[in-house]
Amino acid sequence: MLTLRLAILGLTYQYTTSHISREHYDKYHSIYYDEVFRLNPPLPLDSSTSLHPDDLSVRATDELRFTLFRHWTLYDAMYHSSYVASKLGIWKEKGRKRLTGLLAKMGLVTLLSCSRGLSADVR
């Protein structure tokens, strides 16, 4: 179980720092995905929090390529993630406008996307 967790962390590190390609990541991810389901009890659908006090299970989720977007504001997370920054050209005035434009198109006022912590009040 510990080995699996460390393996997942190592794989995630290599992918988020672009050491390996998406195909490579997917290949190993499917292996770990099967292992996670083998070692953890099956879950009710759509649960994002712990089920009971000693719930230390690992479960599969979808992840966005933003840095720490569960803990930062959405704007900060997008601004500081290298993937978004390089795609939008965030170091130029134009790129920054594109980011705010993207957020606006999603129907988010800048004030709203600045409220902290995507998972802060799930509890």
Name the residues that contact other proteins, by CB under 8 A.
2, 5-6, 8-9, 12-13, 15-16, 22, 25-26, 29, 32-33, 36, 48-65, 67-68, 70-71, 74, 83-84, 87-88, 98, 102, 105-108, 112-113, 115, 117-123
Nearest approach, Cβ of residue 44 and other proteins (Å): 13
- Which of residues 44 and 48 has its CB atom nearest to other proteins in the complex? 48
Cβ neighbors of 43 (< 8 A, separation 6 or more) are: 51, 57, 59
Cα distance between residue 69 and residue 72, in whole Å: 5
Nearest approach, Cβ of residue 42 and other proteins (Å): 14
- Which of residues 32 and 79 has its CB atom nearest to other proteins in the complex? 32
The DSSP secondary-structure symbol of 76 reads H
Nearest approach, Cβ of residue 48 and other proteins (Å): 7
Cβ neighbors of 58 (< 8 A, separation 6 or more) are: 1, 4, 5, 8, 36, 39, 40
C-alpha distances (whole Å) from 26 to each of 39, 69, 88, 93, 104 are 20, 22, 25, 35, 32
Nearest approach, Cβ of residue 79 and other proteins (Å): 13
